[in-house]
Amino acid sequence: MRIANLVSGVILILFCLTMLVLIIPTWIEEGPDGMMSPRLVPQMMIWLILGLSVLLIASNLRTVPSDDDGTSPVSREEWLAFGKIGGVFVLALALFLSFGALPASIVLIVGALLALGERRPLVMVLMPLGLIGGAWFLFYRVLGTAIM
């Protein structure tokens, strides 16, 4: 697990540096004078993640290596679940681009439930209805705007 934590910390540091140097300055504009910059909160969160990544690496470098450091921390079942969820997202994206948000969101919710082992019919019907209906109510009724 020690090696996995070190690799995760390095990957997170690279992600944070990319966000701070390239993504945030390129895609988030500076605000007008007298206004707080829209970049501030994303930069604060990235700095927080960066600090936690350094802490993760430092704490794992101080620990003594154990016997199970050579084994994979991710089991075969977890890789299969990751692949299933990835497939559900690819299918939902294809449906979104072809048919719109409603079929894609239904497939995303029901597919994720199936991939995670949910088999109760009531949950399979009520969860998409509640989430999609709640989003519709929030955007169309409460906020008075369309989801576009």
pLDDT digits (tens, 9 = 90+) for 95-147: 999 999 999 999 999 999 999 899 999 999 999 999 999 999 999 999 988 77
Which of 86, 55, 71, 51 minimizes the C-alpha distance to 4?
71
Q: Are 74 and 88 in contact (CB under 8 A)?
A: no
Count Cβ neighbours within 10 Å for each residue of 134-145 and write b for 16 or more, e otherwise.
eeeeeeeeeeee
Task: Determine the Cα angle at 58 with ends 52 and 60, to 5°.
Answer: 105
Q: 60: which residues sit within 8 A by CB, 6+ positions away? A: 2, 5, 6, 9
Tokens (6 digits) for 15: 């992600």
pLDDT digits (tens, 9 = 90+) for 1-14: 788 889 999 999 99
| Cα 108 to Cα 90: distance, rounded to the nearest angstrom | 9
Which of 86, 64, 71, 135 minimizes the C-alpha distance to 106?
135
pLDDT digits (tens, 9 = 90+) for 46-56: 999 999 999 99
